[in-house]
């Protein structure tokens, strides 16, 4: 391959300390290099904004519940469809697009890496099958441990090392990337139709609390030296007054890692509600942002909602049932034996709903009140808050107070009494947006070590060139242009190949799946542990030998090995 030379790029590369310089980028053999080969294809970036490929650190795009969201929603499939064209397959869907739909739309927005937010270990094979059919992004899977019986037993025994050993075996078996806790303890309680309502409630039968599960797993994660931290969906999602739970949870987090956070809090918008009912719900973004500002060992993502239709889907089964009881739209649920749960229900976020307007404000406030952009990542918890195609609009809202003021006129006029949003003057700049959409994700996930999220020599050549000239436009005023520019790259380059141009995908993809193997001493190998194997003999409905995901499901697997400190 001749390689590529990008000339005249307006580069922002936060991890390399480049804050907006016009420069050239040379690419060879899928990597960024010092100098291009003489026969390199030259791309004239014409001073357009050039960033590392986008990384989504929390999105639901592949696996059992995502596919069920499609399966149960022909109306959503009809809402976004394209015919086969060139190398592009047919696509369907708006809020839950088909795998190729997700992949093409992300790619044309400059995204090259996606973390699937929730994979049930028992159904991991399904997630990996869909990863293969999402060919333009490298994929990673958060692996659910929130209701894992072996974990809860270890927590009960206060045996952090055993919890770590269970994680190590499971991640390796299911080719997962990181530890995900979704409403820890709550998904097990939902096995009986219940839930936990605070981090100190006991999980039925297991006699442990969410706080104990979270605390143990943070320790276990560091014992295994995993690249990412524990990735937490807090208890009490969507409940008025839940900011207290969120603050208490943040208060639990020790600072255990020099290179990254010790806890990743996801879709924090859904966890920053004051009040006690839907009538008096209000924003507590200031309290939550203050706690995050004062706790450098945590990182959050926004979980922004945007007005319109979408489909909610999460491993948090009890929450989806509550949402169903509110909306009475169709509802699906899928509990997974010994491990976790899940639920799905479509929603419509309306500008005329005061509650929805408060939620919309909170997400933006978190991003504007977080002092350090490395601690607040841009997300919608796709598709829960909104489909990811709304990211450009969110960027524009964060960069333009004028845009926010215009929106203020369109929403429920009572909103301003319940939220601080309109008093916030801050407008984010290009650099901060670059941090919040790729660099901070790479750092938080711990994947800079495999060349993700930056553009210095040695990095993976994942590059996005947007039709935006930062020295010519003022995002505060030209927010429509910002929105349009972030919706469609001029070029998306993935591992040194141009994969999308001006909104069209131009090659068949060949992605990688990134997973983690923590090497543990033989004494901590669960494959021969009698209590652990008994779970398969007696309680699982799948034999232990048939449980692990075979290598064939990862045609281009990238394994990150760690040595456990056990």
Partner 1 sequence: MKIEDVVCPFCGCLCDDLVVQVEGNRVVNVENGCTLANEKFMGDHRLETPIRRSGKKWERISYDEAIAETAGILLDADRPLLYGWSGTYGEAQTIGVHLAEVLGAVIDNTSTVCHGPSIMAIQEVGHPGCTLGQIKNRADVVIYWAANPIEAHPRHMSRYTTFADGFFVKNAFRERKVIVVDVRETDSSQIADEFVKVNPGGDYAILSALRAIVRGKRDIIPPNVEGVSREQLFRVAEICMAAKFGAIFFGVGLTMASGKYKNIRNAIELTEELNRHTKFTISPMRGHWNVYGSNEVFTWITGYPYAVDFARGIAFYNPGETTSVDILRRGECDACLVVASDPGAHFPRACAEHLARIPTIQIDPHVNATTHLSQIQIPVAVTGIDAEGTAYRMDGVPLRTRKLFQGSHPDDLEVLEKIYAIVREAKG
Q: DSSP of 201-263, one letter per residue?
A: SPPTTT---HHHHHHHHHHHHHHTT-SS-EEEE-SSTT-TTTHHHHHHHHHT-----SSS-SE
Q: Of residues 18, 23, 133, 456, which one binds partner 1 by CB under 8 A?
A: 133
Q: Of residues 34, 38, 193, 259, which one binds partner 1 by CB under 8 A?
A: 193
Q: How many CA atoms lie within 13 A of 292 on its CB side?
A: 35
DSSP 37: -
Q: Of residues 206, 321, 515, 532, which one binds partner 1 by CB under 8 A?
A: 321
Position 249 contacts partner 1 (CB under 8 A): no
Closest CA to 113 of 433, 459, 467: 459
Q: How many CB atoms lie within 10 A of CB 35?
A: 12
Q: Of residues 18, 22, 23, 72, which one binds partner 1 by CB under 8 A?
A: 72
CA dihedral 323, 176, 389, 234 (to 10 degrees): 40
Buried/exposed code over 472-493 (b: 16+ C-beta within 10 A; e: otherwise)? eeebeebbebbbebbbbbbbbb
Which residues have C-beta within 8 Å of that of residue 476, sequence separation ≥ 6?
399, 400, 401, 402, 427
- Indicate the residue among 62 and 370 with the shorter CB distance to partner 1: 62
Q: Do 430 and 397 touch, CB atoms closer than 8 A?
A: no
CB 118 → partner 1: shortest distance, Å? 15
| Contacting range for partner 1; rule: CB under 8 A; set: 78-86, 213-221, 280-288, 387-395 | 78-86
| Contacting range for partner 1; rule: CB under 8 A; set: 79-87, 229-237, 410-418, 442-450 | 79-87
For residue 49, report the phi and psi dihedrals to the nearest 5 degrees.
-60, 125
Q: Of residues 89, 231, 284, 495, which one binds partner 1 by CB under 8 A?
A: 89
| Contacting range for partner 1; rule: CB under 8 A; set: 93-101, 164-172, 431-439, 502-510 | 93-101
Which residues have C-beta within 8 Å of that of residue 3, sequence separation ≥ 6?
26, 27, 28, 29, 33, 36, 37, 39, 40, 41, 496
First-last CA distance in the chain? 44
Position 73 contacts partner 1 (CB under 8 A): yes
Position 540 contacts partner 1 (CB under 8 A): yes
Position 195 contacts partner 1 (CB under 8 A): no
CB 31 → partner 1: shortest distance, Å? 31
CB 550 → partner 1: shortest distance, Å? 6
Q: Of residues 83, 258, 528, 530, which one binds partner 1 by CB under 8 A?
A: 83
| Contacting range for partner 1; rule: CB under 8 A; set: 275-283, 302-310, 505-513, 545-553 | 545-553
| Contacting range for partner 1; rule: CB under 8 A; set: 28-36, 62-70, 258-266, 409-417 | 62-70
How far apart are alpha carbons 507 and 86 in whole angstroms? 9
Which residues have C-beta within 8 Å of that of residue 81, sequence separation ≥ 6?
90, 91, 92, 93
Q: Of residues 550, 551, 555, 563, which one binds partner 1 by CB under 8 A?
A: 550
Stretch 339-378 residues interacting with partner 1 (CB under 8 A)? 344-345
- Indicate the residue among 97 and 475 with the shorter CB distance to partner 1: 97
- Indicate the residue among 84 and 200 with the shorter CB distance to partner 1: 84
The partner residues of 119 in beta bridges, in order of sequence, read 143
Residues that bind partner 1 in the complex, under the rule CB under 8 A: 62, 64, 67-68, 70-74, 77, 81-84, 89-93, 97-101, 122-123, 125-126, 129-130, 133, 149, 191-193, 205, 321, 324, 330-338, 344-345, 538-543, 545-546, 550
């Amino acid at each position: 391959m001749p390689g590529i030379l990008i000339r005249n790029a307006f580069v922002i590369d936060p991890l390399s300390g480049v804050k907006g310089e016009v420069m050239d980028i040379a690419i060879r053999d899928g990597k960024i290099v010092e100098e291009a080969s003489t026969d390199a294809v030259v791309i004239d970036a014409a001073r357009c904004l050039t960033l590392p490929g986008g990384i989504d650190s929390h999105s639901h795009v592949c696996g059992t519940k995502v596919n069920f969201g499609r399966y149960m929603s022909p109306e959503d499939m009809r809402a976004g469809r394209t015919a086969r064209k060139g190398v592009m397959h047919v696509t369907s869907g708006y809020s839950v697009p088909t795998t190729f739909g997700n992949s093409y739309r992300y790619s044309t927005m400059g995204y090259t890496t996606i973390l699937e937010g929730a994979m049930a270990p028992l159904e991991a094979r399904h997630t990996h099958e869909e990863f293969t059919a999402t060919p333009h992004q490298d994929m990673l899977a958060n692996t659910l441990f929130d209701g894992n019986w072996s974990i809860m037993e270890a927590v009960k025994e206060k045996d952090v090392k055993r919890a770590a050993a269970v994680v190590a075996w499971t991640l390796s078996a299911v080719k997962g990337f990181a530890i995900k806790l979704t409403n820890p303890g709550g998904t097990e309680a939902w096995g009986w139709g219940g839930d936990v309502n605070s981090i100190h409630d006991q999980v039925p039968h297991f006699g442990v609390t969410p706080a104990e599960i979270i605390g143990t797993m943070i320790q276990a994660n560091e014992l295994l030296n995993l690249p990412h931290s524990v990735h937490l969906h807090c208890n009490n999602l969507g409940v008025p007054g839940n900011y207290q739970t969120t603050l208490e949870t943040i208060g639990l987090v020790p600072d255990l890692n020099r290179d990254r956070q010790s806890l990743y809090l996801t879709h924090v918008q859904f966890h920053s509600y004051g009040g006690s009912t839907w009538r008096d719900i209000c924003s507590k973004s200031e309290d939550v942002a203050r706690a995050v500002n004062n706790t450098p060992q945590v990182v959050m993502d926004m979980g922004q909602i945007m007005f319109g239709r979408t489909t909610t889907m999460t491993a948090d089964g009890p929450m989806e049932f509550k949402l169903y009881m509110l909306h009475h739209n169709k509802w699906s649920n899928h509990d997974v034996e010994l491990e976790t749960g899940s639920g799905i229900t479509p929603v419509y976020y309306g500008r005329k709903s005061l509650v929805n307007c408060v939620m919309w404000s909170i997400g933006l406030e978190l991003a504007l009140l977080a002092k350090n952009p490395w601690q607040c990542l841009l997300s919608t918890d796709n598709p829960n808050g909104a489909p990811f195609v709304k990211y450009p609009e969110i960027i524009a809202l964060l960069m333009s107070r004028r845009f926010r003021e215009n929106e203020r006129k369109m929403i429920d006029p009572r909103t301003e009494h319940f939220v601080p949003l309109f008093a916030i003057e801050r407008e984010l700049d290009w650099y901060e947006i670059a941090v919040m959409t790729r660099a901070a994700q790479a750092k938080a996930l711990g994947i800079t070590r495999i060349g993700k999220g930056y553009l210095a020599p040695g990095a993976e050549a994942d590059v996005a060139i947007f039709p935006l000239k930062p020295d010519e436009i003022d995002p505060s005023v030209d927010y429509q242009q910002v929105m349009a520019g972030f919706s469609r790259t001029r070029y998306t380059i993935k591992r040194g190949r141009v994969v999308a141009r001006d909104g069209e995908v131009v090659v068949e993809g060949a992605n990688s799946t990134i997973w983690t193997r923590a090497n543990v001493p033989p004494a901590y190998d669960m494959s021969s542990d009698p209590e652990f194997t008994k779970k398969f003999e007696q309680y699982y409905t799948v034999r232990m030998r048939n449980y692990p995901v075979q290598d064939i499901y990862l045609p281009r697997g990238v394994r990150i090995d760690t040595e456990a400190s056990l």
